[in-house]
Each structure stands twice: as C-alpha cells, then as structure tokens.
Amino acid sequence: MADDTDDDLVFLFIPALVAVLAREENDMGRPLTRVEVESIRDRCKCVMSPRDVAESVRDKRGYDDIDPDNAWAEWQEIRRELGDIGSRK
C-alpha cells in the first residue's frame, strides 16, 4: 500500500528564502544575479514539512516564502514590490 503523506510534504526554508535573499542583496549593495539567487537557494537550510505545518509557519511569519522551483522569477517580482533592495546600503 502506497503512503500518500509524501504528497503533502513541501519545502520549508529556515529562515525564509525571501529573507535570506533580501539580506544578501542588501549586504552586496546591488541586485543579485540569477546565478547568485539559485546558488543561495541551493545552499539554504530547508526541511521537508507537512503542508499544514508549513502553512502555520507562514502564518506566524506573516508572509509567503518563495517557491524554490521558481526562485528567480518570484524574487524579481518581490524586488519590484519592495523597491530596489540593493540600493538601500
């Protein structure tokens, strides 16, 4: 019998991937490149978490994290929403 619980597992980045990218870009003082975003994503700590636990963490954080499979595109959208993070240094 197959276990369907694997279907309910999602990536949970700790700290949130979006927070790590924002900090890195601010520290660098310039926009991150696609290669940098993907490299940071690949090095970040994450766990596989049941969806309901990840949703609870999201609710406590107060914001959604970036989908790791779409990190570059979502990061670009967040940058537009927040303004030019790298120029705040």
The 10s digit of each residue's pLDDT in 12-51 is: 999 999 999 999 999 999 999 999 999 999 999 999 999 9
The dihedral region occupied by 62, where left means phi > 0, alpha psi between -120 and 50, and beta the remainder, is left
Nearest CA to 64 out of 85, 78, 44 is that of 78
CA distance 56 to 79: 25
The half-sphere exposure of 34 on its side-chain side, counting CA atoms within 13 A, is 4
pLDDT tens, position by position, 42-57: 999 999 999 999 999 9
* Cβ contact 25:75 at 8 Å: no
Domains of the chain, residue spans: 18-81
pLDDT for 1: 43
Give residue 87's pLDDT band: very low, low, confident or very high (50, 70, 90): low
